[in-house]
C-alpha cells in the first residue's frame, strides 16, 4: 500500500507509466490507462512535477513519443478548468434556486420578468439580490439597479 507513503506512490506510478510506455501499447490506450493511473495514484503537486520530469527524461532516453509531458499537463489543466466551470455553474444554480425560494416565500408566485432576470443573472447579481431580499418591501426593489 502506498496510501501513507507518497514517495512510494511516486515510484509506483512512475513504474506503471514506464511499463506502459515501453510495452508497445497504442498511443490512445496509453492515454486512457494513464488517466486511470492518475486517478488511482494521485500525488501532491510537488511530486506530480517530479513525476513529469521523470517521464520527460524517460521519453527522451527511450525515444518514446506516446505521451509527452506537455500533453499530460494540458490534459490535467483542461480537466481542472472544466471542474472549476462546473463548480461555478453549480453554485450559480444553487444561488438561483435559493433566491427563487426566498422571493416566492416573501412575495408569492414570481412574474415571468423576475424568473427571466434570475435565469440571466451572473453570480455577482445573484449575491446582491440575495442580500436585498431580506430588506425589500416589494419584489421590484430586489432587482433595482443601485443608485450612484
pLDDT digits over 99-141, tens only? 999 999 999 999 999 999 999 999 899 999 999 998 999 999 9
Range of the domain at 106: 86-143
pLDDT value for 12: 85
Instruction: Evaluate whether residue 72 is within a structural domain.
Output: no
- Looking at the 3D structure of the chain, how many domains does it have? 2
Residue 97 burial by CB count (10 A; 0-12/13-18/19+): exposed, middle or buried? exposed
Instruction: Evaluate whether residue 80 is within a structural domain.
Output: no
Same domain? 96 vs 53: no
- Rounded to whole angstroms, how far apart are CA atoms 140 and 77? 42
Whether the per-residue pLDDT at 71 is higher than 70: the answer is: no
Same domain? 46 vs 16: yes
Instruction: Evaluate whether residue 79 is within a structural domain.
Output: no
Amino acid at each position: 500500500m502506498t496510501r501513507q507513503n507518497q514517495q512510494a506512490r511516486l515510484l509506483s506510478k512512475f513504474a506503471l507509466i514506464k511499463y506502459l510506455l515501453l510495452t508497445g501499447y497504442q498511443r490512445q490506450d496509453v492515454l486512457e490507462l494513464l488517466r486511470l493511473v492518475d486517478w488511482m495514484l494521485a500525488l501532491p503537486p510537488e511530486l506530480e512535477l517530479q513525476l513529469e520530469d521523470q517521464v520527460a527524461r524517460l521519453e527522451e532516453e527511450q525515444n518514446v513519443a506516446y505521451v509527452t509531458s506537455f500533453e499530460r499537463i494540458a490534459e490535467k489543466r483542461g480537466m481542472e478548468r472544466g471542474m472549476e466551470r462546473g463548480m461555478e455553474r453549480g453554485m450559480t444554480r444553487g444561488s438561483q434556486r435559493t433566491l427563487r425560494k426566498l422571493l416566492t416565500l416573501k412575495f408569492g408566485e414570481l412574474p415571468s420578468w423576475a424568473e427571466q432576470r434570475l435565469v440571466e443573472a451572473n453570480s455577482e447579481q445573484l449575491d446582491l439580490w440575495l442580500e436585498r431580499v431580506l430588506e425589500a418591501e416589494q419584489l421590484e426593489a430586489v432587482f433595482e439597479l443601485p443608485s450612484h
